[in-house]
Structure 1
Amino acid sequence: MKLDNISSLGGSVSEELVPSRYALQVGEIDVLVVSDGVLPLPTATMSTNVDPDVRAAWFRDMFLGPDAFDWALNVLVVRSGDQTILVDAGLGGQFSGFPRAGQFPRRLAAAGIDLASITDVVITHMHMDHIGGLLVDEVKNRLRPDVRIHVSATEVDFWGSPDFALTAMPTPVPDVLRSTAQQFMKEYGGKLRIFEEEYEVAPGVLAWRTGGHTPGHSVVRVTSEGERLTFAGDAIFPVGFDHPDWHNGFEHDPEESVRVRLRLLQEAAATGELLVATHLSFPSVGRVAIDGDAFRWVPAIWDY
């Protein structure tokens, strides 16, 4: 997955005019952000604890909405030493009507990455847009038999009997989340490598549990030669920089999610590290700056 190898594939495989992968290095570690596509969601799910007019004004200022917007889906591939690590797997076929999502298998292939080369998978949390991609035949039939799947113990326990009391999701979603998590455990329960609070998946690649979005939600930090990148999963959404206190309808513990979000954003601003998140617009690579009582997203300049 070296950068020169990835770039040399450009003209031979992809038919897309819009780029769907972005490669960078964190010290000696290779990182590839891959777009799984986008899916439309109601704007109301992005701020369930604010006045609708305030929410509408924010989306209008961002030239989005007013009722729905495209929700980006990003996954990460990290190569450290002889390990190739997939972080999350996007959306599979659990929900019909999302033809622009579920793209990561063919986009990995376009980047020259064979699914059989994946040694490890880190699951930030077990929502369907993070594990669903592992359940489609073209993925599960090509993963190596000894692939290691890392997920926090708290997350596994939670999905044994999930609580949606504090969420505000579109009506059909909870049942699909439950069934997808059950299917995931049936398919991969024997391959899980459970960790408690944190686990070094590979040299310089650390997964650790933050909680909040789900009780076992985890993030992944890549560190090498004094450089650092954090994949924040669903701890941070586009609205979270301007309004980190706004609740997301998919958060199982909204108040704790705010605390986690503030902590991650404050740390990212203090360190100057790179930040990537599942639902920030592709390629979702940038830094965080303090902006008064809130934050400002500073997208990285594309290196091409």
Structure 2
Amino acid sequence: MSPNNPAHVERARPDELVPSRYALRIGDIDVMIISDGVLPLPTETMSTNVDPVVRAAWFKDIFLGPDAFDWALNVVVVRSGGRTILVDAGLGTEFPGFPRAGQLVHRLEAAGIDLGSVTDVVLTHMHMDHVGGLLVDGVKDRLRPDLQIHVAAAEVKFWAAPDFSHTAMPSPVPDVLRSAAKQFLNDYRSHLRPFEEEHEVTPGVIVRRTGGHTPGHSVVRVSSGDERLTFAGDIVFPVGFDHPDWHNGFEHDPEEAVRVRIRLLREMAATGELLVATHMPFPSIGRVAIAGEAFRWVPAFWDY
């Protein structure tokens, strides 16, 4: 990826105090995790099915809260088999309530990744913080005309008439989610390559539908040689290791999301492979260990 090649890297903006990208190799495959910024959200969205006192105690234990916290937002770029694959597209710039997110375009450029080089986009799901970067003015014109966007067919079907009856999101959010998904489908329908349950984007990069968070929510597994990494999208949040049974307010099927989360975390603990997730603190890379009836997040040591 040549992230440190000065010929391809823009100067950091003066308000960016920390690196916003982290590169690694999975066997022969290049992977880069890029921060799209952070979203300020109410703490109650992390645990809608528990006593507020219990929720407040958990956030106090990790020195956050009590009412709101910054929710990380990460995307991934994978280069394999001659293809450059963007996994999720961040928030975009249409939402003034989230001024510190929507950084994807200039952070891709800072990493030396031209939008015109992206051959594929894989969407874990179609919430606004995963498709919004594609809706920024001028972005579509900079993308390849043969761009392929891989998304579960169940996700596309759901957003034709979304049902929010099992969610517990802040009141303005459902309308914004609906509007963003509608605009995305209108703008990019001809680029969609829907899959049913599993699809190989390129050798070593497979996207698999899990459901739960949304009907078509999917994860992406990168494998080369004996190394593996899974991008889990919104299956797991920071609280999900200690309390995998706590519901997230954005989950469209909370009970199924719990089952999916526990199943994936058990699998990660058994294989020891690397895990990255959209809303884990950047660079969001680590492993999963068993901790009694729950799990433990083991952050990877940064490789300087």
TM-score range, shorter chain: over 0.9
1:259 matched to 2:256: no
Tell me, what secondary structure is at the counterpart of 2:55?
helix
Q: 2:121 & 2:9 partners in 1: Cα distance?
A: 29
Q: 1:124 to 1:12 in 2, by over 3 A?
A: closer
Q: 1:294 & 1:50 partners in 2: Cα distance?
A: 16
Amino acid at match of 1:118: V
1:246 is aligned to: 246
Q: 2:193 & 2:85 partners in 1: Cα distance?
A: 14
Q: 1:117 & 1:190 partners in 2: Cα distance?
A: 19
Confirm or deny: 8 A CA contact 1:234 1:277 kept in the other structure: yes
1:82 matched to 2:82: yes
1:286 is aligned to: 286
Q: 1:98 & 1:183 partners in 2: Cα distance?
A: 19
1:6 is aligned to: 3
Spell out, residue by residue over 1:183-240, the C-alpha distance to the aligned partner (whole angstroms, 9 max, x if none). 0000000110010000000110000100000000000000001100000000000000
Please list, as runs of the form range in 1=range in 2, the aligned pairs for 1:146-295 lying within 5 A after superposition.
Answer: 146-295=146-295
**Stretch moving more, 167-176 or 85-94:** 85-94
1:112 is aligned to: 112
Confirm or deny: 8 A CA contact 1:148 1:192 kept in the other structure: yes
How many angstroms does 1:13 deviate by? Answer: 2.4
Confirm or deny: 8 A CA contact 1:46 1:248 kept in the other structure: yes
2:52 is aligned to: 52
How many angstroms does 1:134 deviate by? Answer: 0.3
Confirm or deny: 8 A CA contact 2:215 2:252 kept in the other structure: yes
Amino acid at match of 1:213: H
How many angstroms does 1:11 deviate by? Answer: 7.6
Confirm or deny: 8 A CA contact 1:92 1:129 kept in the other structure: yes
2:124 is aligned to: 124
Q: 2:138 & 2:244 partners in 1: Cα distance?
A: 38
Tell me, what secondary structure is at the counterpart of 2:206?
strand
Q: 1:118 & 1:58 partners in 2: Cα distance?
A: 40
Tell me, what secondary structure is at the counterpart of 2:208?
strand
Please list, as runs of the form range in 1=range in 2, the aligned pairs for 1:8-47 lying within 5 A after superposition.
Answer: 8-9=5-6, 13-15=11-13, 16-47=16-47
Confirm or deny: 8 A CA contact 1:94 1:180 kept in the other structure: no
Tell me, what secondary structure is at the counterpart of 2:142?
coil
Confirm or deny: 8 A CA contact 1:75 1:90 kept in the other structure: yes
Confirm or deny: 8 A CA contact 1:154 1:215 kept in the other structure: yes
Q: 2:140 & 2:286 partners in 1: Cα distance?
A: 32
Amino acid at match of 2:217: H
**Stretch moving more, 6-15 or 279-288:** 6-15
Spell out, residue by residue over 1:140-185, the C-alpha distance to the aligned partner (whole angstroms, 9 max, x if none). 2211111000000000000011010000000000001001100000
Tell me, what secondary structure is at the counterpart of 1:200?
strand
Q: 1:164 & 1:151 partners in 2: Cα distance?
A: 20
Confirm or deny: 8 A CA contact 1:91 1:133 kept in the other structure: yes
Percent same amino acid at aligned positions? 75
1:137 is aligned to: 137
1:71 is aligned to: 71
Confirm or deny: 8 A CA contact 1:37 1:73 kept in the other structure: yes
Q: 2:263 & 2:257 partners in 1: Cα distance?
A: 10
Spell out, residue by residue over 1:30-69, the C-alpha distance to the aligned partner (whole angstroms, 9 max, x if none). 0000000001000000000000000000000011110000
How many angstroms does 1:12 deviate by? Answer: 5.4
Amino acid at match of 1:228: R
Unpaired runs of 5+ residues, structure 2, are none
Amino acid at match of 1:182: K
Q: 1:166 to 1:12 in 2, by over 3 A?
A: closer
TM-score (norm 2): 0.97
Q: 1:137 & 1:121 partners in 2: Cα distance?
A: 18
How many angstroms does 1:137 deviate by? Answer: 1.6
TM-score (norm 1): 0.97
How many angstroms does 1:282 deviate by? Answer: 0.2
Spell out, residue by residue over 1:85-134, the C-alpha distance to the aligned partner (whole angstroms, 9 max, x if none). 00000001332221100001101100100010000000100000000110
Tell me, what secondary structure is at the counterpart of 2:160?
coil
